[in-house]
Each structure stands twice: as structure tokens, then as C-alpha cells.
Amino acid sequence: MKLVSFRKSLIIASFVVLSGTFNNTITAQSSKKQNYKVAVCDWMILKRQKLGAFELASQLKADGIELDMGGLGNRETFDSKLADPVEVKKFKDKSKEFNVGISSIAMSGFYGQSFAKRETVKRMVQDCIDAMKTMNVKVAYLPLGNQCDLKKNPELRPVIIERLQWAGKQVAKIGGVIAVETTLDATAEKAFLKEIGCKQIKSSFNFSNAIENKKDISEELSILGKKHLAQIHASNTDGFWLQNDKKINMPKIKATLDKMRWKGWLIVERSRDTTDVHNVKANYGANVAYLKKIFQN
């Protein structure tokens, strides 16, 4: 009788172990098959390079955050904690604790500072690349910003190209990519990237830029092409939530990206309801939920 009970217990225990393994395998396979992940910009959810960004992103049901390098201002480089091993461990631990990844490391300081004219740009970019390596992130986000708007300041094009060619060589050393956001339409941006001539420099496509240029988002994505596309800022300027924005046909955009066989991060930057623009959880929660409904259903 004891022998029968022992064998029965052994069979049950084995079944539990195998079931756990099977479930873990399913989870891993499901995660692997997911072509699109949704992130939020940490600076836009008011958690710029703060540990609390991971918990808040988790509450918003986001898959990740775009982690900023910190303020720039008149400093020689970014005001970043990511060069400190102690702080880096904290960020990695929080990412793991809340199961929130990092889509990219952002150099948002260049929204207001000149990538073409700042003398210490090489140090800034290298600090970002070092942070990418430390945090195991393969994409850096570089907005060229108002001062380097290539439509308004075409004379800056040669120096910007030269600096991006240098940056491409540096990020190639860690197997990474720098995703550049410009104000150009897709045709002009594709020509710009070809002139740079470096496969490590790609586009960070922004819905709002296509809308500003009075272009169809899906058509712009098709023109740009899969190989030039590193990530997508999947939002418009503030006004409406994504689901209420008549200028954005999200199912059509998904169909276009599916046809392109593109995979990557969709990052919510804005698209806040201006009647309650400071409500982070309502605005970003709604936009994340809508993107997941369309892209992860």
C-alpha cells in the first residue's frame, strides 16, 4: 500500500513539474511571437530617468519605457545616472521587478539643443552609447529638434551628416542603432539616410510628423521601408486620445506594418486629451490600451 501511494505521489509531482515547464514554454513562445511592443516616454509621464517610471509604466499596462539620458541645458553632457554602476543596478532591478522593458535610450535634450553646433556632441553621444551597452539596449533615440530642423536650416545638413556618420561608427561597436527623428517627409528622409550611408543610422518615425507634412501615415511608412525604420513614436500632438483621433487610421497602419513585416516598439509620446492634459494615467493608459488592442489582439 505504501509503495502504491509513493508511486502515485511521484506521478503527480512529475505531472506538476511537466505542466510548469509546458506553461513556461507557452509563455516564452507567445512572447517570442509578439511583433509589436508598446512603450511610453519616461519624460512625458513625468518620470524622467526615475525608478518610478517602471512601476507607473506597469500600471499603464505598457511593455516598456523609453528611458531618457536626462537634462542637457548648458552642460557638457547629459545629467545622467546611467554611468553609476550602483544606479544602473537599481534601474535593472526595477525593470525586472515590474516586467517593464526599455525600448530605447533617449537623448531628448536635443529637442532644444543643437546637435549640429554643440561642441561636446561626441561626448554626449558616447555617453549615450555607453549607457546603451550598460543597460543592454540596442536603440538610441535622437530627435534633431527645432535648432536642427532640416527644412528650416538646410545649411546644417553637411555637419549633421558628418556627425551622424561618426555616431554610426561608434554605435556599431556595440551592435546598436541610432534612431533619428527629423521633420522631413518619408521620401526626403530616405534620401537623407542614404546620404549618411550607414546602416546603424535609421529613422525614428513619428505619426505627428507625417500629419504635419499632410501625408498619409501608412504611405509614408511604406515609402520609408522596413530597413530604414528603427522605432515608431505612435502618437500625434496633443488634442485627442489615439482612439478618437480622426487623422490616424490605426488598423490601416497595422496592416501596412504587417505587410512590411516590420517588428519593433511603438512608443507613446503625446496624444493627450487637452481637456485633462495633466492626467498621466488617464491619457497614457487609454493610448497604451488602444495600441495594444490594435497591435496585440
**What would the pLDDT profile of 148-201 be if each residue is shown by its tens digit?**
999 999 999 999 999 999 999 999 999 999 999 999 999 999 999 999 999 999
Q: Grid coordinates representing 90? A: 537599481
**pLDDT one-digit tens code per residue, 41-88:** 999 999 999 999 999 999 999 999 999 999 999 999 999 999 999 999
Q: Answer whether 98's CB lies under 8 Å from 54's CB.
A: yes
Residue 268 phi/psi, 5-degree rounding, is -85, 120
Bridge-based pairing state of the strands 229-233 and 177-181? unpaired
**pLDDT one-digit tens code per residue, 197-256:** 999 999 999 999 999 999 999 999 999 999 999 999 999 999 999 999 999 999 999 999
Supply the pTM of this predicted model: 0.89
What is the number of alpha carbons within 13 Å of residue 188 lying toward its C-beta? 14
Q: Answer whether 131's CB lies under 8 Å from 105's CB.
A: yes
Q: Grid coordinates representing 113? A: 539643443
Segment 99-109 shows an average pLDDT of 98
> Which domains are present in the chain?
35-295 (3.20.20.150)
What is the rounded average pLDDT for all residues in the chain? Answer: 91
